[in-house]
């Protein structure tokens, strides 16, 4: 029987537009789906950037996202724009009654994030926020281990998400460095990921104490915003712009209803760490560690191993028993960053016509935004702040 076609519109043609386009294109090739996604329209801000629409697999391209969102033939809208645009777009999509995927963080502020959650609930539409690292086979396996009690009582959750793409003072002003476009800097961009991983794997953060730092406060203004990479030949004026967001945020957390202590570091000033999203979980029965730069493996220490054979085992999360891996290659044939987006869209489509939402929803994204908000208030007051 022919599968119901669901028409997709994607808003945003830069880094996330590219990763999500790849995912929409690959998901039906590698996974069995209850519906057939059709890549209908890529929406962008400039005619120039829409030249990739055909190459990315989209049937149409449009500069008018609002018109596309309200088209009766569009069923799902995927928002891959800078953070400040998420609320306006999500509210429009919810009003139009379409299913919605939105990149993280949900919004610049907790207030806006709450508004987005209220809108999708009122509209009764399916909603996902793309916390992609949950969908790494190794991370999904760690989730099962912790939920199954294999690590016992959790003493510590530790996460450090370290990058280095703006250590060069010549790196120009881009949207991720301007509060009005991004909300916060490293905290909301990469700190959001490790907060979500903590709340996904271990438990909700109940209170935080943190501090934030901007190392380079002035940067050259560029002729174009190229996300996190500097395009060859990009011209930079001598006019300088002010960085009004954090370059790094470090904070402690206590986990609701447990004795677990959490420590978080989100920095863009760790030379040599390109996209080093790393987590460590230490429990009464054992420990696990994982990092995105070596994303196909995780390390596991089991306290009940014989004393003469104790140590961190290096486990390849590419065997058939690891989530998502059967769709790809034989064991040991690794996957990459882009596959995580295929996995998240697979989970979204698999549950499109069900009540269930076994993935990161707007609810989870608001829980994350509450922690980000509390960290900003803690940094400003130099006090512990409860996460309401």
What is the contact surface with ligand SOE in residues (CB under 6 A)? 15, 132, 163, 189-190, 228, 275
Q: Which candidate, 62, 114, 110, 73, places its Cα nearest to that of 91?
A: 114
CB neighbours (10 Å) of residue 120? 22
User: Of all helices (H) and strands (E), which one includes residue 340?
Assistant: helix 337-350
Q: How far apart are CA 241 and CA 219, in angstroms?
A: 5
CB neighbours (10 Å) of residue 169? 11
For 318, the token pair is 């590419």
**Closest separation between CB of residue 189 and ligand SOE, Å?**
5
User: Of all helices (H) and strands (E), which one includes residue 280?
Assistant: strand 276-283
**Closest separation between CB of residue 167 and ligand SOE, Å?**
13
Per-residue HEC secondary structure of 187-250 comes to HHHHHHHHHHHHHHHCCCEEEEEEEEECCCCEEEEECCCCCCCCCCCCCEEEEEEECCCCCEEE
Judged by beta carbon, residue 260 or residue 277, the one nearer ligand SOE is: 277
**Closest separation between CB of residue 15 and ligand SOE, Å?**
6
CB neighbours (10 Å) of residue 298? 25
Q: How far apart are CA 156 and CA 244, in angstroms?
A: 32
CA dist 267 → 90, 166, 184, 260, 275 (Å): 28, 10, 12, 23, 10
**Closest separation between CB of residue 230 and ligand SOE, Å?**
14
Judged by beta carbon, residue 264 or residue 282, the one nearer ligand SOE is: 264
Q: How far apart are CA 102 and CA 112, in angstroms?
A: 13
Judged by beta carbon, residue 189 or residue 247, the one nearer ligand SOE is: 189
**Closest separation between CB of residue 55 and ligand SOE, Å?**
21
**Closest separation between CB of residue 143 and ligand SOE, Å?**
18
Per-residue HEC secondary structure of 13-28 comes to CCHHHHHHHHHHHHHH
In the DSSP assignment, the letter for residue 65 is: H
Judged by beta carbon, residue 142 or residue 190, the one nearer ligand SOE is: 190
Q: How far apart are CA 37 and CA 25, in angstroms?
A: 9
**Closest separation between CB of residue 385 and ligand SOE, Å?**
24
Judged by beta carbon, residue 38 or residue 230, the one nearer ligand SOE is: 230
Judged by beta carbon, residue 118 or residue 228, the one nearer ligand SOE is: 228
- Asked if 298 contacts 290 with a C-beta cutoff of 8 angstroms, the reply is yes
Judged by beta carbon, residue 163 or residue 260, the one nearer ligand SOE is: 163
Judged by beta carbon, residue 150 or residue 244, the one nearer ligand SOE is: 244
**Closest separation between CB of residue 363 and ligand SOE, Å?**
19
**Closest separation between CB of residue 338 and ligand SOE, Å?**
11
CB neighbours (10 Å) of residue 243? 20
Judged by beta carbon, residue 131 or residue 348, the one nearer ligand SOE is: 131
Instruction: Collapse the DSSP code of 292 into the 3-class scheme (helix H, G, I; strand E, B; otherwise coil) and give the result.
Output: helix
Instruction: Collapse the DSSP code of 29 into the 3-class scheme (helix H, G, I; strand E, B; otherwise coil) and give the result.
Output: helix
Closest residue to ligand SOE: CB criterion: 189
Q: How far apart are CA 50 and CA 196, in angstroms?
A: 32
Judged by beta carbon, residue 15 or residue 301, the one nearer ligand SOE is: 15
């Amino acid at each position: 029987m022919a599968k119901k076609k669901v028409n997709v519109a994607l808003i945003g043609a830069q880094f996330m537009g590219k990763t999500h386009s790849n995912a929409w294109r690959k998901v039906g090739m590698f996974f069995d789906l209850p519906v057939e996604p059709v890549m209908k329209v890529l929406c962008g801000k400039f005619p120039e950037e829409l030249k990739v629409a055909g190459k990315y697999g989209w049937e149409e391209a449009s500069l008018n996202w609002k018109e596309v969102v309200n088209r009766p033939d569009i069923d799902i809208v995927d928002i891959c724009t800078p953070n400040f645009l998420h609320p306006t777009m999500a509210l429009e999509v919810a009003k139009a009654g379409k299913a919605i995927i939105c990149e993280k963080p949900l919004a610049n502020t907790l207030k806006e994030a709450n508004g987005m959650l209220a809108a999708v609930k009122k509209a009764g539409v399916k909603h996902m926020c793309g916390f992609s690292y949950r969908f790494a086979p190794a991370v999904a396996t760690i989730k099962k281990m912790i939920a199954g009690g294999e690590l016992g009582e959790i003493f510590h959750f530790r996460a450090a998400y370290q990058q280095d793409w703006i250590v060069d003072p010549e790196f120009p002003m881009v949207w991720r460095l301007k509060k009005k476009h991004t909300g916060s800097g490293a905290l909301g961009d990469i700190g959001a990921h490790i907060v979500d991983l903590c709340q996904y794997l271990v438990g909700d953060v109940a209170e935080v104490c943190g501090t934030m730092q901007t190392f380079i406060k002035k940067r050259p203004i560029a002729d174009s915003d190229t996300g996190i990479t500097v395009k060859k030949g990009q011209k930079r004026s001598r006019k300088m712009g002010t960085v009004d967001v954090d370059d790094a945020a470090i904070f402690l957390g206590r986990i609701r209803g447990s004795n677990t202590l959490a420590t978080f570091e989100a920095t863009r000033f760790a030379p040599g760490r390109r996209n080093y999203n790393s987590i460590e979980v230490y429990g009464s029965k054992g420990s696990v560690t994982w990092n995105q730069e070596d994303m196909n493996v995780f390390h596991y220490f089991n306290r009940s191993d014989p004393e003469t054979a104790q140590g961190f085992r290096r486990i390849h999360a590419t065997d058939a028993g690891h989530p998502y891996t059967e769709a790809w290659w034989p064991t040991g044939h690794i996957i990459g960053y882009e596959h995580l987006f295929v996995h998240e869209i697979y989970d979204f489509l698999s549950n499109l016509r069900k009540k269930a939402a076994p993935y990161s929803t707007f609810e989870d994204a608001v829980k994350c935004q509450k922690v980000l908000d509390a960290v900003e208030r803690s940094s400003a007051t130099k006090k512990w702040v409860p996460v309401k």
